[in-house]
Chain A
Amino acid sequence: MSNLIKGETGEWEVVIGLEIHAQVVSNAKLFSGAATAFGAEPNTQVSFVDAGFPGMLPVINRFCVEQAIKTGLGIEGKVNETSVFDRKNYFYADLPQGYQISQYQQPIVSGGTVQLDMKDGSTRKIGVTRLHLEQDAGKSLHDQHPSQSYIDLNRSGVALMEIVSEPEMRSAEEAGAYIKKLRSILRYLGTCDGNMEEGSLRCDCNVSVRKPGAAFGTRTETKNVNSVRYVMQAIEYEARRQIEVIEGGGEIKQETRLFDPNKGTTRPMRSKEHAHDYRYFPDPDLLPLELDPKWIADLKNGLPELPDARKARYVADYKLTPYDAGVLVAEQETAQFYETVAKGRDPKLAANWVTTELFGALNRTGKAIQDSPVTARALGGLIDLISDGTISGRIAKEVFEAMVETGKEAAAIVEEKGLRQVSDTGAIEKAIDEVMAKNQDKVAEYRAGKDKLLGFFVGQTMKATGGKANPAMLNDLLKKKLAG
């Protein structure tokens, strides 16, 4: 599949690097004991440290460091035993200290890999440059007063992991797959809830275009895009915009841009000339972060099975297609649901039911798999009824719908509605005889060589049995009878 974009002067390649800001799952902030819950009343989760009061000092939260180490290990990065916190200096009303504590030259994690699962089942590895810890700023509210801005410092000091990819993605689709996989890893690890709507995961998109094989073009950075779809839109738009500018004889300016989700476009925020000089320097209030290698090793041993490993296991053990396996492992809850369904059953049949009927039902009802109206055990019960011949696959779909609606067990619905499959030769033969008697002209035509009419007879007989006839038996018996 070609990722190239066709322009007036030929084909262009898009070069994408992503910077993800992932809010660390932690009850307390990175350098203060204040709480971090989302949606609290403004300025109720603020310590004097977070508000930048005189004489207040930051103290690193060990748990946030642990979360960053786990994430680093989860993306196969190198956890650095020594890292340094720096101050990134700039003035803004929601940045109380006048600087953000971040990591600049010595991040806690160097390198890493995220494996993309593409729609066609192929995979592609994208390099991660680094992961570092930093504190979030507060929030400016400009719509609360006609002439003044309000500041909410609840978010000030909340721990973020900035995860920077190599510029190795070549399409919006790959960028989307990257975020999805990274989010999946973070959720598996429990280090970030990945909730983009609440801003727990935000993405800055670095995009440039070039003719295939040429040197990198000038990039732009589109800031704070907050959904996978928007990221893909922003990249598509930005790539086409850049191609148009270049093909129109213009030049790309290195600048920071904003994404407009209503229009699906990007617009300039500030150019390089107006870029801040952040005057980074090591924060003298904090000693270098020294990590005990044994701690790192212990955390490594305690890591859960991550999506890539789980996917490989599904392909190897359950013989699933890489695509289905990828879909099933993306969310831990889905994978757990699936494994419960598949246990002791045909894993492929289980996969089909989960990815088609169950996902369809969840989509329709707008529910998450954790709140699925059909539990994993109940779905397993339905599959058991198919496997032991109690019902046919076709009837099973009807039963499943009833399960979604009523929450009842499959067996109960089958009994209630009398949907048990008819596997009794005599009963089926009786139905066939009746159908043939009613349609003697068609019988004659069939016998004269019009084989296609078999479908008609199958349909009629099935209808006569209320759809309950065992399809294989019905087929066999019908062929014999029609043959005369």
Chain B
Amino acid sequence: MAALTHMTIAEARAALKAKKISSAELTSAHLKAMEETRGLNAFVTETPERAKADAARADAVLAKGEGGSLEGIPLGIKDLFCTEGILTTAGSHILDGFKPPYESTVSAKLWQAGAVMLGKLNMDEFAMGSSNITSHHGPVKNPWRKKGGNAELVPGGSSGGSAAAVAARAVMGATATDTGGSIRQPAAFTGTVGIKPTYGRCSRWGIVAFASSLDQAGPIARTVLDSAIMLQAMSGYDPKDSTSANLPVPNFEAAVERGVKGLKIGIPKEYRLDGAPKEIIDLWEKGIAWLKDAGATTVEISLPHTKYALPVYYVIAPAEASSNLARYDGVRFGLRVPGKTLDEMYENTRAAGFGAEVKRRVLIGTYVLSAGYYDAYYLRAQRVRSLILRDFTEAYRQVDAILTPATPSAAFAIGEKSDDPVAMYLNDVFTVTANLAGLPGISVPGGLNADGLPLGLQVIGRAFDEETVFAVGRALEKAANFTAMPEGLR
């Protein structure tokens, strides 16, 4: 039997059910791993006592031969999810000391399914970032290093803590959120699997909002099957979220091994960016070949408005964020820096409480919604957004899923690109379209680059067709046979 922390969720679940291991053992192994990997700065809050209590409860349930789909499985929760009575900061100074009196729907569903809570995971402040360097709690480090190199690399973002903890075997899986690529990009940077489901599949209730029309929760795990098991538990209609889809949740687990025989896979020509690194294009070609070998056919398709996706995203997301973040004013919770007047208190609190990237986006968002600019920016961006969606709708007339690279590069060093926000924004170039169109997208590790760093492939599916996304993701996973691990864990 593999070391407890190296088991997949599916393996551990079977072993727990067969009473070969206990949740207490599994949990304490992970608590130990959590301590040993503290250098990664993946956790904002560790909850070992809670974890032990959860494990004991799970063991009692399992002893009766009962239990949910994640009974006894230790997980980490991105610090964007409100957890009742447990510090929730969204990576921001402005939420200092904020212990929500409520539990997010998604995390509540995981506890209902029997999962064990290990702690809250670090992230870019308010989920704004692609490298986890904007967190008030300091950057998360990627457990991976370049072959022969010592430079600390970013884990990607914004769900950098989630991805790093999963890759470092400190948690079996983690919740994450994705507004422009915040699940898929860090998954690609850390050799893990991350799926952003269709907008509306998971409730947003209790998740600190960044950009409401784009935010979507999803899991990061180490296999496609594990991500399906987690998403199964996280999904479902929630009357408390008006944008949650009132649709039955299909059996994702069952879809994983469906195969791709007869599927038509679209290869969007616009994703062949000028100047894209050869290793990225090569991996993409490999992916195409793998799917063909598995019985799918590939078709070149066109998504003509792709080039507008990033600019559109960087109008809409900051616009919504500027409004969503207005509630952090020092009046009712979190940080308050006093001032002589109400306005001064707002200014002092928000100046001290928000980091530079958040301020930049609040400023951009305020600008694009201002009188005289709304039509030129926000309204136009919304129009182009509907054209981007139409591109996909057209494409899905002839294909069942779309294959693209997940990121334009492998993980980069901490500090790199950080003086150039636009270069940083380019990280999301392949992932952001799925958010704008509300479509499900998965990132699956495809292999290592010449530096020995993981690279990911992305599969984008039709709205509410995560099943095909999982099946295609699994075919890639099988063919890639990605077994590499960060050096320290081998």
Contacts and interface: CB of A to CB of B under 8 A. Distances in A.
B242 A98 contact: no
B366 interface: yes
Interface in A46-70: 48, 51-60
Nearest to A97: B327
Contacts of B371: 277, 279
B211 interface: yes
Contacts of B489: none
Contacts of B98: 54
A54 B82 contact: yes
B111 to A, nearest CB: 16
Interface in B209-251: 209, 211-213, 239-243
Contacts of B320: 281, 284
B193 to A, nearest CB: 26
B327 A287 contact: no
Contact of A281 (B101, B243, B323, B331): B323
A281 B373 CA distance: 12
Contact of B88 (A48, A54, A99, A281): A54
Interface stretch (B45-53, B69-77, B199-207): B199-207
B127 interface: no
Interface stretch (A86-94, A219-227, A344-352): A86-94
A281 B240 contact: no
B374 interface: yes
Nearest to A276: B371
Nearest to A278: B371
A98 B329 contact: yes
A357 interface: no
Contact of A59 (B240, B327, B332, B333): B240
A140 to B, nearest CB: 9
B242 A60 contact: yes
Given A98-B327, A279-B366, A281-B378, A51 B242 contact: no
A58 B378 CA distance: 23
A434 interface: no
Contacts of A99: 323, 326
B95 interface: yes
A404 interface: no
Contact of B100 (A55, A91, A92, A151): A55
Given A54-B208, A287-B242, A91 B326 contact: yes
Contacts of B81: 55
A244 to B, nearest CB: 32
Interface string B292-335: 00000000000000000000000000011011011101011100
Contacts of A96: 327, 331-332
| A52, A54, A99, A286: most-surrounded residue (chain B CB, <10 A) | A54
B208 A55 contact: yes
Contacts of A277: 370-371
A277 B102 CA distance: 34
A267 B213 CA distance: 42
Contacts of B241: 57, 59
B90 interface: yes
Contact of A91 (B95, B102, B329): B329
A377 B152 CA distance: 91
B348 interface: no
A98 B365 CA distance: 14
A92 B81 CA distance: 27
Contact of B319 (A57, A281, A286, A287): A281
Nearest to B98: A54
Contacts of A285: 209, 212, 242-243
A209 B33 CA distance: 77
Interface string B21-43: 00000000000000000000000
B444 interface: no
Contact of A89 (B95, B326, B329): B326
Interface in B366-407: 366, 369-371, 374, 378
Nearest to A151: B331
B14 interface: no
A59 B240 CA distance: 6
B313 to A, nearest CB: 14
Given A59-B240, A60-B242, A151-B331, A54 B212 contact: no
A45 to B, nearest CB: 16
B209 A55 contact: yes
B484 interface: no
Given A59-B242, A98-B326, A284 B213 contact: yes
Contact of A53 (B242, B333, B366, B370): B333
Contacts of B327: 52-54, 96-98
Interface residues of A, number: 30
B346 interface: yes
Given A281-B378, A284-B213, A59 B326 contact: no
A213 to B, nearest CB: 33
B330 to A, nearest CB: 10
Interface in A163-205: none
B332 A51 contact: yes
Nearest to A89: B323
Contacts of B242: 57-60, 285-287
B342 A48 contact: no
Contacts of B207: 55
Contact of B82 (A55, A91, A149): A55
Given A91-B326, A281-B319, A284-B320, A53 B100 contact: yes
B102 A48 contact: yes
B365 to A, nearest CB: 9
B112 interface: no
B449 interface: no
B101 A279 contact: no
Contact of B369 (A54, A279, A287): A279
A309 B482 CA distance: 78
A83 to B, nearest CB: 14
Contacts of A89: 322-323, 326, 369
A87 B323 contact: yes
Contacts of A149: 342
B100 A54 contact: yes
Contacts of B213: 284
A51 B213 CA distance: 22
Nearest to B80: A55
Interface string A74-92: 0000000000000101011
A157 B98 CA distance: 23
Interface string B73-107: 00000000110000010100001001011101000
B198 to A, nearest CB: 15
Nearest to B213: A284
A102 to B, nearest CB: 13
B243 A287 contact: yes
Given A48-B101, A54-B100, A91 B369 contact: no
A56 B331 CA distance: 17
A267 B71 CA distance: 66
Contact of B211 (A93, A151, A284): A284
A95 to B, nearest CB: 9
A426 B159 CA distance: 109
A57 B323 contact: no
A151 B332 CA distance: 10
27 contacts: A48-B101, A53-B100, A53-B333, A54-B82, A54-B100, A54-B208, A54-B209, A55-B206, A55-B207, A55-B208, A55-B209, A56-B205, A56-B206, A57-B204, A59-B240, A59-B241, A89-B322, A91-B329, A91-B343, A96-B327, A96-B331, A96-B332, A277-B370, A279-B366, A279-B369, A279-B370, A280-B369
Interface of A: 48, 51-60, 87, 89, 91-93, 96-99, 149, 151, 277, 279-281, 284-287
Given A52-B327, A55-B207, A58-B242, 20 more contacts: A53-B100, A54-B95, A54-B327, A55-B104, A55-B208, A55-B209, A56-B206, A57-B241, A57-B242, A59-B239, A89-B326, A91-B346, A93-B342, A98-B326, A279-B323, A279-B366, A281-B319, A281-B374, A284-B212, A287-B242
